[in-house]
Amino acid sequence: MQVATAAVLLAVAFGGYGRLASDLAFLHRYVLARIEGISDAMEEAAQLKFAAEAARNTPPDLHEMKGWARDVRHFLDRYRTEWAVAGNTSEDALRFHATLERSNRGGLAAEETAAMNDVGSSLERVEAKLASPGFNGQVAASIENDARDLRTALRRLLRVQVAFIDVENAATEGRSRETYRWMSVVGLLGLFGSLALGLQVHQAIAPRIRRLVQEVQRFKELGVHQRVLEEGRDEIAILANALDVVRSHASRLGRLIDDLLLAASTRSGALPFRPQSVDAACVAVKVAAEVAVTMPGRSFDVDVARGGRLLADEHLLTQAVWTLLTYAAAIVPRGRPCPRRQSVRTEPHGCSADAGP
Contact of 141 with 98, CB cutoff 8 Å: no
Let me know whether 151 and 294 are in one domain: no
Let me know whether 180 and 261 are in one domain: no
Let me know whether 98 and 245 are in one domain: no
- Gap between the Cα atoms of 348 and 325, Å rounded: 8
Tell me the mean pLDDT in the region 187-212.
76
In this structure, what CATH number is given to the domain that contains residue 83?
1.20.120
In a domain, 136, yes or no: yes
In a domain, 220, yes or no: no
Contact of 352 with 345, CB cutoff 8 Å: yes
In a domain, 181, yes or no: yes
Which regions of 118-223 does DSSP assign to beta strands (E)?
none
Nearest one of 315, 333, 230, 248 to 278, comparing CA atoms: 315
Let me know whether 135 and 184 are in one domain: yes
96-112 tens-digit pLDDT? 888 888 888 889 889 99
Let me know whether 183 and 307 are in one domain: no
pLDDT at residue number 76? 92
| Sequence-ordered list of residues with C-beta below 8 angstroms from that of 46, at least 6 positions apart, any chain | 147, 151
In the predicted model, is pLDDT for residue 219 greater than 50?
Answer: yes
In a domain, 229, yes or no: no
- Gap between the Cα atoms of 45 and 299, Å rounded: 108
Burial class (CB in 10 A: 0-12, 13-18, 19+), 58: exposed
- Rounded to whole angstroms, what are the CA distances from 126 to 4, 136, 141? 66, 14, 11
User: Please, which pLDDT band fits residue 73 given cuts at 50, 70 and 90?
Assistant: very high
Burial class (CB in 10 A: 0-12, 13-18, 19+), 275: exposed
If you average pLDDT over every residue of the chain, what do you get?
76
Contact of 9 with 183, CB cutoff 8 Å: yes
Report field, pTM of the whole predicted structure over 0.75: no
Domain around 97: 2-195
Q: Which of 94-98, 207-211, 218-222, 285-289 has the lowest mean pLDDT?
A: 218-222
In a domain, 9, yes or no: yes
In the predicted model, is pLDDT for residue 342 greater than 50?
Answer: no
182-197 tens-digit pLDDT? 778 877 887 787 788 7
In a domain, 205, yes or no: no
In a domain, 212, yes or no: no
Give the residue from 176, 195, 214 where a domain finishes: 195
Give the residue from 129, 164, 195 where a domain finishes: 195
Let me know whether 92 and 27 are in one domain: yes
Q: If you ran DSSP here, which 8-state letter would residue 340 be given? A: P
pLDDT at residue number 355? 39
Number of domains in the chain: 2
DSSP states of 292-303 as a string? HHHSTT--EEEE
pLDDT at residue number 52? 85
User: Please, which pLDDT band fits residue 150 given cuts at 50, 70 and 90?
Assistant: very high
304-325 tens-digit pLDDT? 666 667 788 877 788 788 788 7
Let me know whether 159 and 239 are in one domain: no
In a domain, 27, yes or no: yes
Nearest one of 198, 185, 133 to 8, comparing CA atoms: 185
Let me know whether 79 and 26 are in one domain: yes
Nearest one of 17, 19, 14, 7 to 187, comparing CA atoms: 7
Let me know whether 191 and 299 are in one domain: no
